[in-house]
Structure 1
Amino acid sequence: MMLTMNLLKAPLQAGVTCTSAMKLGLVTILSFISFACQSTQPTQQTTQPEASPRLISEASWGAVNVETLEGHTGKVWSVALSPTEQKVASASQDRTIKLWDLATGEVLKTLTGHTDEVLAVAFSPDGNLLASTGKDQTIRLWNVDGEPIRTLTGHTKIARSLAFSSDGETLVSSSWDKTAKLWDVQTGAVKQTLTGHQGGIFATAISPDHQMVATVSKDKTIRLWDAETGKVLRTLTGHADSVRAVSFSPDGTMLATGSNDKTIKLWNPQTGALIETLTGHTSLVNSVAFSADYSTLASGGEDKTIRLWNLDSKTLIRTLNGHVEPVGSVTFGSAAMLVSGSADQTAKIWQP
């Protein structure tokens, strides 16, 4: 295991000059541009633009510190950040889950038990549980120290993703068996099995009020379900290929989806209306995540990049380069912190 750090510097967006950018008159953009318009001569120290510690903006991502967590011997398919932001969990092709100390970059524990690739991990809202799933079709629950608690079985094909409800009482899983399941965390019983997709389900998410479940599928659709009854509320169409990533905004008013068609779509989950289509990735989009303050969307792609999008203007803030293989997972912390996992066998911590 090795911890490495480097500093990235953001260029101006294509087609934006220093003069024209200064005329925009927006405080956050002025901060970003004034940084980007500094001398391009390399220096040993980089002055980062001032930014609110609470808000994530263009200014915040002018310069980025990157910590690399190395230790897996296979692709890192999924990463999760504990609610206290003290631990990172990573799920890997090597059939293990690693718990990392965020402050030191050291491996706290390697969790073993899965008999095939581990494709997803998720922390419970109180941080006391970790859930994992993968190609062995099982869901495993672990305590905060990484000790096994329970194994849930029921899916008949690869289990692909996991999400806890905000109250921690329900765990949602999705599978190539074309179903999603809602599990009672305390008992391990299945509350609901959601059926209707015509293809395997890549990912699932549950709304902040835990009343709605979203699933995205190889059948190119997004389905929104009533978490209590298991009934389909609406089906969203518009992607031209498989939909493989989904996330609710922290306030529940927006849904983001990522697709093999290289686009990200923003939806109103209450009406099903399409809000915006974001383009920029040059290959399929594997993961999407909202920042805690609902200002920024992160997306990780097969093109090896992470892209940060302004949710007010629906424009690209910047592209983060550093992974040398496809990015399979991205997740935000409560502040300006982003965690990513990649097929290059590493996880990275990005901070302005």
Structure 2
Amino acid sequence: MAMYQASMALDPLVVLGTVGTQHTLTGHSGKVLSAKFLLDNARIVSGSHDRTLKLWDLRSKVCIKTVFAGSSCNDIVCTEQCVMSGHFDKKIRFWDIRSESIVREMELLGRITALDLNPERTELLSCSRDDLLKIIDLRINAVRQTFSAPGFKCGSDWTRVVFRAVGGGRLAR
């Protein structure tokens, strides 16, 4: 079984590489800002400055679906059924993988720079340019907690955030 690595460059390509081989998935007209494997590891979702999300099949190495998001996508996370994308227009969009429709949107106060899921995939952590971290409970579709600190600044549209479990609790980094 080949092991793939997805990498992004600030260009309209998604590059896949294995030891000794390489394949470029071509299709975005803007810079690719995020690319994530779906849980089946047979597909990748990419988000771009061109305001689209693309679903790629790794077996056939082609784009099997393009969704117009309406805003540049800065980050993506995935569950079995849902792709969550964070956008320049301050919205988190929730997409059903099987369709091209938005299941729901959530608007925050600043441009979304990063998203991450907790290990149970029940909470979504967001970072935005309003210098806030938010934990969104996906079971009730609501912000459960908001974090801020006097010295914390989300300094760029590429600031990343990660859930980490510490001593039985949770910690956002």
Instruction: Report the TM range for the smaller structure's normalisation.
Output: 0.7 to 0.9
Cα deviation for residue 196 of structure 1 reads 3.0
Question: Which residue, out of 296, 313, 321, partners 2:170?
Answer: 296
Kept in 1, the 8 Å contact 2:76–2:115? The answer is yes
More strand by share: 2
Residue 169 of structure 2 aligns with an amino acid whose one-letter code is S
Distance 2:104 2:85 in 1: 11
Q: Distance in 2 between matches of 1:245 and 1:135?
A: 16
Identify the residue that residue 16 of structure 2 maps to in structure 1.
141
The size of the alignment, in residue pairs, is 168
Instruction: Show the counterpart of 1:250.
Output: 119
The one-letter code matched in structure 2 to 1:200 is S
Within a 5 Å distance, the mapping from 1:180-191 to structure 2 comes to: 180-191=53-64
**Structure 1 segment 176-255 matched on structure 2, within 5 A:** 176-197=49-70, 199-207=71-79, 210-237=80-107, 239-255=108-124
Q: Indicate conservation of the 8 Å contact 1:140/1:148, yes or no.
A: no
2:24 corresponds to which residue?
Answer: 151
* Cα-to-partner distance string for 1:141-192 (whole Å, 9 max, x where unaligned): 111x3x3321101110000011111220111111101111111111112222
Q: Which has the higher contact order (CA 8 A, sep 6+)?
A: 1
Q: 2:114, 2:81 → 1: CA distance?
A: 20
**Displacement after TM superposition at 1:295 (Å):** 3.5
Is the 8 Å Cα contact of residues 255 and 267 (structure 1) preserved in structure 2?
Answer: yes
TM-score by length of 1: 0.45
Structure 1 contact 234–272 (Cα < 8 Å) conserved = no
3-state secondary structure, aligned to 2:160: strand
Unaligned stretches of 5+ in structure 2? none
Aligned to 1:284: 154
**Secondary structure, in 3 states, of the residue corresponding to 2:119?**
coil
Kept in 1, the 8 Å contact 2:165–2:171? The answer is no
Per-residue deviation, 1:257:
0.7
Contact 2:53-2:69 within 8 A present in 1 as well: no
**Contact preservation (8 Å) 1:288, 1:297:** no
DSSP-derived class of the 2:95 partner: strand
Deviations 1:328-347 (A, max 9, x none): xxxxxxxxxxxxxxxxxxxx
CA displacement at 1:292 relative to structure 2: 6.3
TM norm structure 2: 0.88
The aligned amino acid for 2:86 is V
RMSD: 2.0
Kindly provide the CA deviation profile for residues 20-52 of structure 1, in whole angstroms up to 9, marking residues without a partner as x.
xxxxxxxxxxxxxxxxxxxxxxxxxxxxxxxxx
Asked if the contact 1:247/1:257 (under 8 Å) is kept, the reply is yes
CA spacing shift, 1:172–1:297, aligned 2, 3 Å = farther
Q: CA deviation at 1:127?
A: 8.2
> Following the alignment from structure 2 to structure 1, what is the Cα–Cα distance between the partners of residues 154 and 2?
31
Secondary structure at the counterpart of residue 61 of structure 2: coil
How far apart, CA to CA, are the structure 2 residues paired with 1:271 and 1:232?
17
Question: Do residues 163 (structure 1) and 36 (structure 2) align?
Answer: yes
What is the aligned partner in structure 2 of residue 268 from structure 1? Answer: 137
Q: Take 1:227 and 1:132, find their aligned partners in 2: how far apart are those partners? A: 22
Counterpart CA distance in 2 for 1:292 and 1:172 is 26
Question: 1:114-125 counterparts in 2 under 5 A?
Answer: none
**Higher helix proportion, which one?**
1
- Aligned AA for 1:229? S
Q: Distance between the aligned counterparts of 1:241 and 1:292, measured in 2?
A: 26
Q: Could you say what secondary structure the match of 1:291 adopts?
A: strand
Identity %: 27
